[in-house]
Structure 1
Amino acid sequence: MKLDAALISRLRAALDTDAAIDLLRRAVGTPSVTGTEAAFARLLAGELKALGADEIVLDDFAPGRPNVRGLLRGAGEGPCLLLAGHTDTVHVRGWAERWAGTEREDPFGGAIVDGAIWGRGTGDLKAGICTTLAAVRLLSAAGIVPAGDLQFAFIGDEESGEPDTGVSAGIKAFVAEIEAGVVPRPDFAIYVEPTRLNIYPAQMGFLICDITITGRSAYFGVPERGIDALKAAHQVLSAIWAHSAELEARAPHDLVGRPFVLVTGLEGGGYIAVPGECRISLILKLLPGEGLDNAVAGLERAVRGAELAEGITVSFAYPAGRDHRYGGTPSEVSPQLPAVALLTQAVEAVRPDRGLIEGAPYWSEAPFLINRLGVPAVYCAPGDIRNCHTLEEHVVVQEYLDGIVAFAAFLAAFDRSVIE
């Protein structure tokens, strides 16, 4: 179908705004902090059934923690499109206290205030998930059948922060199903992380490193009997910052910017004694094309090159493995891909101020699709990452509704011409 002004007008006229808003509020009203995704997964399975999807499967990737997927058959004349997003959210600690006595006090209330829907998960990323479902509902209301099949995958365990969770267990299970032939391999994918309806074809990679510096504690009155780990941490920090400066001096990526190292934590001492141990935590940003193995080697080489007192030992731990044992790999696809261009056109047709090509200022799970499966994927959805994970999380209602129309337009026009 041709993506033109007539299609946009047809979709706008068919949009049931009340139903779309109700869908997002019900999604927000179903808590799904990482580890407790089951109720929200069941809600989404019900929505997929109501849309007429086949092969709806709730499958545990961990005990009591299901992914949900479904396949909506198209006219049989187009490629397969994957619409994916994570079902889990970060915690709500501090939310009720921040908004006590106001309509926003309940983090799962989905209050509409100042033209926005507020609550945990609105932007990250329940608005994106609901946009995909509402877009399909809109196509049906407008009498439009997509050319190809639509594969939905709503997966858990993307967010980190809760004990023993946040290792992308959900998408690892889903990708394994594709590799095993249980689920069709898509031709293109949209992962609905919040982008303010811009399109992110590239993202940073990352590693988190915990460095433990060990010396020897001693009573404060005889410090010469100890080996000061906190003093050694000064040299280590200087080496880390020098290494960051070297990374930042490299040529930036057009969309993702420059690599760097950010020290995020320092812990040591606390007793009236020579500190025998100190711990430094950091995050290192990688650019597309850079490898995590090389990044780790460079970081450890820089730290070990610091001038440390005799008897000091240094160890490294990498607790945030995702699609790589050390962290998350960077990824990118060409912004010139026809499917990316079509998505840009669809968004711009609805919101001329959006549809910009940008780099993701975060890491999410597109590398599992791009790097592991070879499936081109982008991020695009309503919501602003800058207020996600905060006590200010919200999505502007009009942006959400515009996203539904834009996604529906893209789905209507998505055919073999943008893949072959």
Structure 2
Amino acid sequence: MTDDLHARIRAAIDRDASVGLLQRAIRTPSVTGIEAAFGALVADELRRLGCEGVTIEDCLPGRPVVWGVRKGRGTGPRLMVLGHLDTVHVRGWEEHWAGDVRHDPFSAAIVEDQIWGRGSGDLKAGICTGLSALATLDRAGCALDGDIVFVFIADEESGEPGTGVSAGIKAVVPKIQRGEIPNADFAIYVEPTRLAVFPAQIGFFIAEITVTGRSAYFGMPEKGVDALKAGHAILSALWRHSAELETRGTHELIGCGFLLVTGVEAGGYIAVPERCTISLIRKLRPGEDLGQARDELDAVIRGAVTDPEVTVEIAYPAGRDHPVGGMPFETDATMAPVALLQDSVRAAMPGRGEIEGAPFWSEGSFTANQLGIPTVYCAPGDISNCHTFQERVPVAEYLAGVEAFALFMARFCGTAG
């Protein structure tokens, strides 16, 4: 597209309005389980932007999904912009920043040209980037040929009791399959990427292993069955299994598969330990089968236990788009829309827009695998400071994201003005 289009878009960016929207978003708390107020804010913004069919519908009581469609002229491809409404908790934030302007996790304070606060990066900057980009196109007089579908969902984050099972996207996917929400030709899930483009993500599952023996007084250990000793054998087998997984190949963007033991607990009395619990997370690269990986793990664990009096139970508490976990996905990085998004980001902020792999799991696998929409992650913000007391987004990066998204929307959907 022409340099004139880019110049018009850049000139139409309203810095104060864009930054103000992100600050209002951060100042509307939406810790997982209490997303309703932020969902209402987003719905109001969609209506203000002239989106049709703006809907707020609970996926769980008091927990919304929000969608709306900005109609184009009907002659171009359709883009989907989606992300999650919820953030992780703020426990300890005020104590960490006591006496500092950043002590309120929802203040959206600007310090050294960065916007601070819970959810700033993960992922309210992404949501506001998409909304502000459309507002920028309106100010620039760019009438789109294709539609833009906005979908924002509760319950992506985990960490709060009884939450984090992707209830929002699980409610939305059937609606898209039935045509109640329009499907799309390309999707951007606005997880923070520092404006890199992530066309692939890891898969994962969490396993909680409970090993049970029989307790006995320490002076007569022969009367007991030592669950910790059995747990030690399981740990050794798990680490051998992880080393073997790392030899099975490396994905260019994601790396190799492995497992990480994240917790071990046993004992507590002056006695033979009756119980040992082991927690782990398994990383999968695109192309690995999650069910097969689960079955392999099960065999490794049970094969390590030789004492018939020891029992082993294995639970998989983090089912997402698979009963035991989250699926990996990969979009062809050479697709024209991916390259167009890269070019748009580079035009807005030279040095950004590179192809990378997502070192996290999010819900792009639902749109990519279940709906068949080529999906990437792209948004301002750095995942490395999210979920921490350091969560923040540089103002310059955020505004570059607004510019890049507006340019991509115009180029991808087409514009007559």
* Structure-2-length-normalised TM-score: 0.98
Q: Which runs of 5+ in 2 are unaligned?
A: none
Q: Distance in 1 between matches of 2:354 and 2:174?
A: 32
Instruction: Confirm or deny: 8 A CA contact 2:203 2:284 kept in the other structure.
Output: yes
- Match status 1:353 vs 2:315: no
Q: How does 1:52-131 map to 2 (within 5 A)?
A: 52-131=50-129
SS in 1 for 2:280: strand
Shift of 1:300: 1.3
Q: How does 1:244-283 map to 2 (within 5 A)?
A: 244-283=242-281
Amino acid at match of 1:39: A
Q: Distance in 2 between matches of 1:372 and 1:316?
A: 27
In the other structure, the counterpart of 1:15 is 13
Shift of 1:11: 1.4
Q: Distance in 2 between matches of 1:251 and 1:62?
A: 40
Instruction: Confirm or deny: 8 A CA contact 2:264 2:278 kept in the other structure.
Output: yes
Q: Distance in 2 between matches of 1:5 and 1:202?
A: 31
Shift of 1:134: 0.2
Match for 2:204 among 198, 203, 206? 206
In the other structure, the counterpart of 2:372 is 374
Q: How does 1:127-276 map to 2 (within 5 A)?
A: 127-276=125-274
May I ask how many residue pairs the two structures share in their alignment? 415
In the other structure, the counterpart of 1:328 is 326
Q: Distance in 2 between matches of 1:184 and 1:110?
A: 34
Q: Distance in 1 between matches of 2:96 and 2:143?
A: 45
Amino acid at match of 1:385: I
In the other structure, the counterpart of 2:307 is 309
Q: Distance in 2 between matches of 1:176 and 1:227?
A: 49
Q: Which runs of 5+ in 1 are unaligned?
A: none
Shift of 1:100: 0.5
1:239-293 per-position Cα deviation (integer Å, ceiling 9, x unaligned): 0000000011122000001111000111111112111011000000001011111
Instruction: Confirm or deny: 8 A CA contact 2:147 2:413 kept in the other structure.
Output: no
SS in 2 for 1:58: strand
In the other structure, the counterpart of 1:342 is 340
Shift of 1:307: 4.8
Shift of 1:178: 0.7
Q: Distance in 2 between matches of 1:332 and 1:310?
A: 43
Q: Distance in 2 between matches of 1:195 and 1:393?
A: 13
Match for 1:413 among 407, 411, 414? 411
Shift of 1:40: 0.1
* Structure-1-length-normalised TM-score: 0.97
Shift of 1:416: 7.5
Amino acid at match of 2:207: C
